[in-house]
Chains A and B, each alone.
Chain A
Amino acid sequence: MAVRREPGLYDYTPANDRPIVTWPNGARVAFWVAPNLEFYEFQPPTNPLRKAWPRPLPDVMGYAYRDYGNRVGHWRMMEVMDACGVRGTVSLNVAVCEHHPEIIESMVARDWELMSHGIYNTRYTYAMDEADERAMIEDVIETIRKHSGQQVAGWLSPALTNTERTMDLLAEYGIRYTCDLFHDDQPQPVKVNNGQLISVPYSLEMNDTVVLLFESGSPRYYADILKRQFDQLYAEGADNGKVMCIPLHPFVIGQPHRIKPFAEALEYITGHDDVWVTTGSEIAEWYYANHYDAAIEHAAVRTQGSESS
């Protein structure tokens, strides 16, 4: 199979030469929190490119650990977010709608935004043919509409698994933004065959699972880097508006030994005056309305400039 040498999804538009992004009410940082509400199957089917569980089935330890997030962690995390006035933008395995409708109700009642994280976190986009990928996208859109009344705007692929056609399909189905690209601190246009798509900065660096599990960070280290990340973006945001996202997993952040340090960091961030506490689609729509055209034009000028030089 011929493979690409680069994603081909965006132009090189470096930070030292780009249009100014502004946020509502002169905010410096658009801040959003993205809890991942997930369901990991007890007996998932096999995907040739990614193993669902590290141990022979049943992987009781891994399965139960994830389940803690839905039984316990989600409710604890939500309380902390409520106290800071933060609405979540939920990266949702849509099967949670069927398995745990109480969780969906709790989020819809708070006017949280539901974005897509596929069907289950044990079903990956890798190796899907186009028909399967379309069926998966249609399933997501319909399931979220049916259980929340919401039109899905955002997309974080299940376990961040993509095919080369994913972005084109998302734009075709009217998805407004992707969270799978980590190349920027501001929203950016994404090149697709038809229609429009942008990236909204999510984050692996601020992701609780990455920091606390993969990178072995302690709970207080995590709270500390959340504050450092915010301080730097808040300073830079005085000149050109930035986005900060905290991606969460209730089975990780909702553990009792982590919740207090996290609550302190969230209070710190939301305690600043010039921060726009918002959701993924609010950031995306503001960007489309105020900055998208300028970004396209700027990229075109830069690209022509580099071709003629």
Chain B
Amino acid sequence: MSLPEDYLHYPRRDYGMDQDRYAWSILPRRERVQWPNGARVALWIVTALEWFPLDMTGQPFLVPGGFTRPYPDYWNYTTRDYGNRIGVFRVMKVLDELGIRASVPMNSALATRYPSLLDEINQRDWEIIAHGVDMGHVLHGDMPADEEEALIDESVSVLRERSGQAVYGWLSPARSESFNTPDLVAQHGIRYLCDWANDDLPYPMQVSDGELHALPHAHELDDRLILAQHHHGEDSFCQQIIDQFDALYAEAGSEGGRVMAISLHPWIIGQPYRIASLRKALEHVMSHADVWPATGVEILDAFIGQKAPPAP
């Protein structure tokens, strides 16, 4: 077994990043960000509505929440579908009562399968984020370009047509991209991308045409990861949200506005024994005056707005 000849060659060993999607930037050294009404923390609740088709294959890798049993895996299919039938309404009740509007990454297959969910979202003035076609169709680097383009086009156009929303955000299923994904989504009118969890503020991305920003969609403050993968338990989930908030809130006091994203999956957090932990954590967050619950595009617009040069 030997190494490739170029194993000690380092073609991108130079200042900044080793890819060209975004610039190297140190969070505490940036200009202070101001949120509307002087808020310290923009609270961004990201509640994904997903459809895991019964025939999904686990290729090219098993997506988070992907099926682990032989076909037909009713166990896992129906557990996921519980979120769309039951769990989401528990989440909506908590958020409604606390005055929080969410952003909803939605597989476009759900817009045709369960269109009444779109009415619930629109009635609440929640935002839809395009989340691919379904969880059985991930984008990835080994995929033909036309296949990827077709999936993005289907997702964005179905969601726009069915919901009547402009749809400015994109979250790839399993956060999986090809090398072209940011270019392709920008060409489809997407303004922000939720796959890159490397910051606590938005930042601009380089794309072939138009403009695109990354929004800080933290991947660890996630009910599926904390509860279903790490098995920390509901009290710990609540505690982690509180600890996250307290840290960002304190930091924002000295360094300027921060975004706090919480990633929710109604098939996880919408279980009866779990929902109270979300309510308790969000009550803590919302008991602070300087919190701005916002959707992704509202956060993006506030971020872009303040970078405009002052009027002459």
Contact = CB atoms under 8 A, between A and B. Distances in A.
Interface of A: 39, 41-43, 45-49, 54-58, 60-61, 64-65, 67-68, 70-72, 75-76, 95, 98-102, 119-120, 123, 127-129, 132, 135-136, 139, 216-220, 255-261
Contacts of B179: 57-58
B6 A45 contact: yes
The majority secondary structure among interface residues of chain B is loop
A49 B1 contact: yes
Interface residues of B, number: 63
A250 to B, nearest CB: 12
Interface string B225-261: 0100111110010011101111110010000000010
A76 B252 CA distance: 12
A216 B232 contact: yes
B154 to A, nearest CB: 21
A95 B10 contact: yes
For the complex of A and B, list the 8 residue pairs with the smallest distance between their C-beta atoms, beginning with the closest: A257-B244, A216-B230, A256-B247, A64-B198, A67-B198, A64-B196, A42-B19, A218-B232
Nearest to A135: B8
A70 B25 CA distance: 9
Given A45-B6, A60-B175, A60-B196, A98 B13 contact: yes
A220 B244 contact: no
B195 A48 contact: no
12 contacts: A42-B17, A58-B19, A61-B174, A68-B199, A71-B25, A71-B26, A72-B200, A99-B24, A102-B29, A218-B232, A218-B239, A256-B244
A62 to B, nearest CB: 10
A261 B25 CA distance: 27
Contacts of B19: 42-43, 58
Contacts of B251: 76, 256
Contact of B197 (A64, A120, A123, A220): A64
Given A42-B18, A68-B197, A218 B176 contact: no
Given A99-B14, A119-B10, A61 B219 contact: yes
Given A61-B219, A120-B10, A260 B236 contact: no
Contact of B14 (A43, A98, A119): A98
B255 to A, nearest CB: 10
Nearest to A212: B230
Given A60-B196, A123-B8, A218-B230, 18 more contacts: A42-B18, A43-B18, A54-B61, A57-B141, A61-B174, A61-B175, A61-B176, A68-B198, A68-B199, A75-B26, A75-B28, A98-B14, A98-B15, A119-B10, A255-B220, A256-B260, A257-B244, A260-B243
Nearest to A259: B247
Contacts of A257: 220-221, 240-241, 243-244, 247
A260 B246 contact: yes
Contacts of B1: 48-49, 127
Contacts of A258: 243
